[in-house]
Every structure is written in C-alpha cells, then in structure tokens.
Amino acid sequence: MTPMIDVVFLLIVFFTLVINFTAADQDERIKLPVSELAQPPEKPPTESITLHVLPSGRVIYNGIEYPLSDLHRQIEHPLAVLKFLHIPAENVTVIIRADARCEIGKILDAVELCQKLNLIRFEYRTKLAEE
C-alpha cells in the first residue's frame, strides 16, 4: 500500500509542476477580438507584464481593475524588482489583451503609458478565427 501512495504522490507532484499556467494570465471579463491573421507566439516571453484593457478604458493588472491613471504606480514596483535583478525594462514584454469592444484610443493610451516607463516590447492577443 505504501508504494502505491508514493507513486500517486509523485504523479501529483509531476502534474503540478508541468501544468500550463498561462490560464492565470487570462481574465474572463475580456472577450478577445477574432483575427484570421493571428499567429500563436513561437515561445513565451521570459519576463512579461499582462494588461487586460476593458471597453471602459480601465485596465486589469494582477487581477485588480484600475483606472489607467493609477496603472503607472502599479507597474513601477515590478519594474523596480526587475531592475534590482539587472533585467532592463527594455527586455520586458507587455502582453495586451484588449476587449473586442474596446476603442483603439484606449489601447493606445495604455501603450503610451508603458512607453513612458521604458517598456518597448508589446504583444497583442487575439482569438484565432477557428476557435
């Protein structure tokens, strides 16, 4: 009986370590736009910040909804930690998941705010047409 419990425990540990954590970067309030030209990323970015832009222009970061004007203070702390680890802001990828109903100007406002923090790499998420 003990060896069987050990095997079950090892399987639980294995599946916990290999589970796909990209679902943590998603928010059910965001309905991504559909694109036929969308390509999945070749590899996930090593350092990333995920921003969810709502149709109202508010932004969800780390599961909390902020007005765009308050987002600057929320992003500064993780950037300071990365700077302490000698990772420049230029190497951080900002993943933008904007709602399909969101105006392009609100998305550009979020991009502009990130650029003021020296974030220059951006990836935009859409849904593939066949999904």
In order along its 131 residues, the chain shows pLDDT tens digits of 788 888 888 888 887 776 655 544 666 777 777 777 777 777 777 788 888 999 988 898 888 888 988 888 888 888 888 888 888 888 888 988 888 888 889 999 999 998 988 888 898 888 776 64
Where do the domains of the chain lie?
21-128
Q: In terms of residues, how long is the chain?
A: 131
Query: pTM surpassing 0.85?
Result: no
If 0-12 CB within 10 Å is exposed, 13-18 middle and 19+ buried, where does residue 86 land? exposed
3-class DSSP state of 53: strand
